[in-house]
Amino acid sequence: MNHYLTKLKVGVKRWWGYSVYYIVCAKNKTKNIIAEAKEFKSSKKKFKIFSSLLSRRRPLIYVMIVFLGIYYGLGALISSEINNKLEDHQHESSSASSYAVKALADVLKVQVDDNAWTPALPIIFPAALLDNQPNFQLGAKEGVTFFINKLAHRFKDDDLMSAAELLEYPSDIWLFSSTKDDSLAPGSAKQYRKALAHIRKFLKKNAVLPANRENLLYILKSSDAFISQKIDILHKHIREHSSEVLDFSADDIFYKTIGSAYTLYYFLAAVTKDYQSQILEVEQYENMTTVLKYLAETAEMSPLVVKNASPNDAFEANHLMYLGYYLSVIQSKLQQVYYQVLLFSERPLP
């Protein structure tokens, strides 16, 4: 009898143990299911909150996109006009002063004072997106720098020397220097305005630039060298890149060149006034008029798209070749004037 009671007790304990085990497992499983459901509900709620915030921000994002489009698009359009109008900036100056120096001062004033200096503008300005105008301004300033430097070394004037040094300042500085440390630095436009102040100081003190044949020969030779630089750049780029399907640097060179032609037009127009008697005595006034005519046409070029097509292409233009042709004609006429003045100066006195 005891044996059966013992077996019954053991069976009851086992049954009770299995029951407790399955109850605990079921309880834990139920807790896990409830926890997962709550977590899913919470994440769904969070997703709904995120979607709601996103839907509320969407109009704001659209407004910002429209604003930036108008700000940069319209702003760039308004500021994109290249100031290449050839007007008579050469007002009457003192008889002891130089029309040529004053012409260079006028060009610098137009590009730095009357207009924003776009090559140095950061991306926060719409004009920073421009490409053609900055290159035109760079070309115009390059011409001023070249001839101020030549005149400064020819006539040994301190103000012209100071102006030439300031004009050599990098053209892309807005607030920070171009070095790796990004330290604060004077802006390019500020330095060029200082150069302009030195040029005006030179004009106010009525410094004399002798209007003789030697100085005219020096100026004509310097102009010839400046044009040769531009022609070499054009020919090199045509030779190396005209076979490319897309030439993104052709318009940079094009507008930089016509900027230089713009400066050269004003400079040589002023030289014609300064040395009118020397030009007339060698009967070269017509050639100088032709030079100015071609320079005016060059400075006012404005194609819709600048192309650097192959010279053998029968369907597309090569605007760089057009520029090279115009500059070659200008150089040829200037050389005729130069050699006529040179021959006249070497004539024996009667």
Average pLDDT over residues 177-194: 74
Give the 3-state secondary structure of residue 308. Answer: strand
Is 336 within the bounds of a domain?
A: yes
With a cut of 90, say whether residue 260 has pLDDT above it.
yes
Lowest mean pLDDT among 38-47, 76-85, 262-271, 310-319: 38-47
Q: Report H helices in the chain.
A: 2-78, 99-108, 132-155, 158-167, 188-204, 213-241, 250-274, 276-281, 285-299, 319-345
What does the pLDDT read at residue 315? 67
Is 350 within the bounds of a domain?
A: no
The residue ranking higher by pLDDT, 311 or 219, is 219
Average pLDDT over residues 206-231: 89
> Cα torsion at 46, 48, 54, 58 (round to 10°)?
-170
> Would you state the structure tokens that stand for residue 253, as one six-digit string?
């060179």
The CA distance from 195 to 189, in Å, is: 10
> Would you state the structure tokens that stand for residue 177, as one six-digit string?
């220097």
Q: How confident is the model at residue 123 (pLDDT cuts 50, 70, 90)?
A: low
Name the domain count of the chain: 2
Is 101 within the bounds of a domain?
A: yes
Q: Do 261 and 225 belong together in one domain?
A: yes
Is 113 within the bounds of a domain?
A: yes
Q: Do 125 and 214 belong together in one domain?
A: yes
The CA distance from 79 to 300, in Å, is: 18
The residue ranking higher by pLDDT, 286 or 65, is 286
What is the pTM assigned to this prediction? 0.76
Q: Do 92 and 73 belong together in one domain?
A: no
With a cut of 90, say whether residue 293 has pLDDT above it.
yes
> Would you state the structure tokens that stand for residue 315, as one six-digit string?
């369907």
Which residue among 43, 78, 113 closes a domain?
78
Phi, psi for 176 (deg, rounded to 5): -110, 150
Q: How confident is the model at residue 24 (pLDDT cuts 50, 70, 90)?
A: low
Q: Do 260 and 124 belong together in one domain?
A: yes
For the chain, the distance separating the N- and C-terminal CA atoms, rounded to the nearest angstrom, is 165
Which residue among 78, 108, 133 closes a domain?
78
Is 65 within the bounds of a domain?
A: yes
Lowest mean pLDDT among 77-81, 225-229, 242-246: 77-81
> Would you state the structure tokens that stand for residue 180, as one six-digit string?
């790796």
Q: Do 57 and 138 belong together in one domain?
A: no
Write the CB contacts of 295 (distance below 8 Å, at least 6 apart in sequence).
Answer: 261, 264, 265, 268, 330
Give the 3-state secondary structure of residue 176. Answer: strand
The CA distance from 12 to 285, in Å, is: 131
User: Bridge partners of 184?
Assistant: 176
- The mean pLDDT of the chain is 78
Domain that holds residue 17: 1-78
Average pLDDT over residues 248-263: 91
The CA distance from 62 to 46, in Å, is: 24
Q: Do 121 and 244 belong together in one domain?
A: yes
Q: Do 50 and 148 belong together in one domain?
A: no
Q: Do 289 and 193 belong together in one domain?
A: yes
User: Bridge partners of 308?
Assistant: 318
Average pLDDT over residues 139-165: 94
The CA distance from 214 to 66, in Å, is: 61
The CA distance from 286 to 340, in Å, is: 13
Report whether 336 contacts 284 (CB < 8 A): yes
Is 326 within the bounds of a domain?
A: yes
What does the pLDDT read at residue 341? 92
Q: Do 70 and 149 belong together in one domain?
A: no
Q: How confident is the model at residue 242 (pLDDT cuts 50, 70, 90)?
A: confident
With a cut of 60, say whether residue 226 has pLDDT above it.
yes
With a cut of 90, say whether residue 162 has pLDDT above it.
yes
With a cut of 50, say whether residue 150 has pLDDT above it.
yes
The residue ranking higher by pLDDT, 240 or 78, is 240
Which residue among 13, 45, 78 closes a domain?
78
The CA distance from 138 to 117, in Å, is: 9
Q: Do 115 and 217 belong together in one domain?
A: yes
pLDDT single digits (tens) 49-102:
555 555 556 666 665 666 556 645 555 555 556 666 777 555 444 444 678 999
With a cut of 80, say whether residue 319 has pLDDT above it.
yes
* Residue 14: CA count within 13 A, CB half-sphere: 6
Is 109 within the bounds of a domain?
A: yes
Lowest mean pLDDT among 36-40, 171-175, 302-306, 332-336: 36-40
Is 189 within the bounds of a domain?
A: yes
The residue ranking higher by pLDDT, 125 or 221, is 221
Q: Do 56 and 22 belong together in one domain?
A: yes
- Comparing CA positions, the residue from 194, 185, 174, 186 lying closest to residue 128 is 174
What does the pLDDT read at residue 93? 46
Q: Do 70 and 92 belong together in one domain?
A: no
